[in-house]
Amino acid sequence: MTTPKPEAATVPPPGCPMHQGAGVTAGVTPLYGASVSEDPHGLYARMREHHGAVAPIELEPGVEAWLVLGYAELLELTRNEQLFSKDSRRWRVPQEGRLKSDSRLLPMTSWRPTLLNLDGAEHQRLRGAVADTLARIDHRQLRQTTETAADLLIDSWGPDGTADLVAQYARRLPLLVFTQLLGLPAEAGPHLIELISHFVDSSEKSVRANAEFQAILLDLVRQRRAAPGADLTSWLLAHPAGLTDEEAVHHLVVILVAGNETTINWTGNTLRLLLTDRRFRATLTGGRLTVADALEEVLWRDPPTQNFPGRWATGDTVLGGQYINAGDMLVLGLAAANADPAVQGADGVGGNRAHLAWGAGRHVCPAQHPARLIVETAVETLLHRLPDLQLAVPGHELAWRPSPWSRALVALPVLYSAFTPPRTPAPERPSWTPPAVSPPSGSSPSGSTPSDATSTPRTPASGKPARRSWWNSLAGWWSGR
C-alpha cells in the first residue's frame, strides 16, 4: 500500500468525528493475551486484511495505539522525526489521565534521557557515545568469552541427557557475558535477569523491578566513576559526550535490556528452528544451509523483538491510509512488516539482511555486530558439543511467552546422548583490554558451521576444570552449586 505523503494528506477538520480518534477505536485488536503469543503471524495477517498497513490496537484495556504492519510504512515512520517523534512525553494517553500509575506499559514507554527517547542532535550525541563504546569491544575476545561461558554451562548439566535450552542455556549465557562486559559482580547476574524478565513481559511486578534494576546500575556507575576499569561502563563514562550519572544509568539499562533480552530470544528461536526445520537439521550432516542462514531466517520470521514502542505523532497526519491524531502512539510491528507481502518473493525472503529486526532509520540498533557474534558462537558451540541434540517434545507443543514485545519461548526441552569436548581448555577470566584501533563497524563473524567431531559417551565429571575460576564460580551460581 502506498502511503500518502504527509504534506499532501487531507486530515479531517477538528469538528469531524475522525479527528477525535474514532478511527483508532473502531475495530481495535488487543495486542495482549493468548493471540499475541500463540499465533502472532496469523494475528498480523488478519489485521492487515481488515485494516491495511496500519491497524488500530489496544495495548491494555482503555489504552489505544496504532500497529504499523507495512514494510514501506514502517520505513517512513522511522525516517520522519518531524512527524513521528521518539519522545514519549508527547503521548496523549497519560496526558489525559488514562494511564494507570501501576500500568505494565510504564517501563517500556516512560521517557528517559536515552538515545531511545530523543530526536535530533541530542539523540546523535548519545547514540555516538553508545556506538563508540560498543566499538571498543574486541570481537576475538568476545567470541572466546562467549564460547567459554557456553562450555561451562553445558558442563554443568547433569548426566541424564536432558536439558531446557531456554532456562539452562539461552537465558543464562548472555548474563555470563554481559556481567563481565559491564564490570558487574558475578553474583548480580541471576537477580538482574529476573528483574529484566518482569518488566519486559509486562508482569505485575514490572514497575518495582524496573526501579530496583536501575538502583543496581546507579551503584555500578558511581563505583566506575571513582575507579574506572576496562569495561563498557567505564568507557561510556569516559566518552567525550560527557554523560551524566543519570544518562549513563539509563543507557546501561538500554544495553542490558535490549542486548540481553534480544540475545536470549534470538538464541532460543534459532535453536528451535534448527531442531524443528528439516532444511536446517541437514546442517549437522553437511547440508547447504548454515547457522548463519538460520540466524537470518529467525530475524525475518521470528525476530527476538516482534513489536517495539514506539513513535508519537507530533501533529495530525495520515499513514497507511489511517488518520493519525497528534499524540497518538505508533508501535513498530517489526515481525509484521517483515511478513509484508509487498517484500515477500514467491519462495519467501531469505539470504539477505533487508529485514527490519534491528529497526530502521537513525534509531537502528547500534549493537548488531556484538549481538550476532554472541548468538552465532552460542549456537555453534552447542551444536559442536551436543551433535545428536533433538527435541524432547513435538515442535507444536512448544509454548511462547505472553509478551506483546518479545518473541520468546517458555522452554525448549531437548535430549542428547553424546557430547564432544570443548574446542579449547576453558581459560581463566580474560581481561578486557581496549584495542589500539577500534574494529571496523562493518566487521562480522563468519558463518561457518560446527566442525565434525567424534562423539564420546557423556560422564558426570567430564569437561569440568579442576580449579574454580571466575567463570566456574558464576556458572556454579547459575547451576545452584
Q: Which contacts (CB < 8 Å, 24+ apart) does range 389-396 have?
A: 389/275, 389/414, 389/415, 389/416, 390/275, 390/414, 390/415, 390/416, 391/275, 391/276, 391/415, 392/162, 395/272, 395/275, 395/276
| Chain position carrying cell 521517557 | 111
pLDDT at 466 (0 to 100): 37
pLDDT at 437 (0 to 100): 32
- Give the lowest-confidence range in 3-7, 64-68, 419-423: 3-7
Residue 64 domain flag: no
- Give the lowest-confidence range in 194-203, 385-394, 395-404: 194-203
3-state secondary structure of 385: helix
pLDDT at 434 (0 to 100): 36
Cα–Cα dist 41/47, whole Å:
10
pLDDT at 199 (0 to 100): 62
State which residues form the domain around 189: 121-302+369-479
pLDDT at 26 (0 to 100): 55
- Give the lowest-confidence range in 30-44, 174-188, 211-225, 264-278: 174-188
What integer best gives the mean pLDDT of the chain? 81
- Amino acid, res. 305: T
Report the number of distinct structural domains present in the chain: 1
- The CATH number covering residue 400 comes to 1.10.630.10
Cα–Cα dist 413/158, whole Å:
14
Residue 94 domain flag: no
Residue 393 domain flag: yes
pLDDT tens-digit map of 425-445:
544 444 333 333 333 333 333
Share of the chain above pLDDT 70, in %: 77
Cα–Cα dist 4/455, whole Å:
60
Residue 437 domain flag: yes
Residue 201 domain flag: yes
Residue 319 domain flag: no
pLDDT tens-digit map of 152-169:
999 999 888 999 999 999
With 80 as the cut, is the pLDDT of residue 464 above it?
A: no
Residue 353 domain flag: no
Strand 54-60 and strand 29-30: the pairing is parallel
Residue 192 pLDDT grade (very low, low, confident, very high; cuts 50, 70, 90)? confident
- Cell readout for 366 is 547500534
pLDDT tens-digit map of 196-235:
767 665 566 777 887 888 888 899 999 999 999 999 999 9
Q: Is 56 exposed, middle or buried (0-12, 13-18, 19+ CB in 10 A)?
A: buried
- Cell readout for 16 is 469531524
With 60 as the cut, is the pLDDT of residue 44 above it?
A: yes
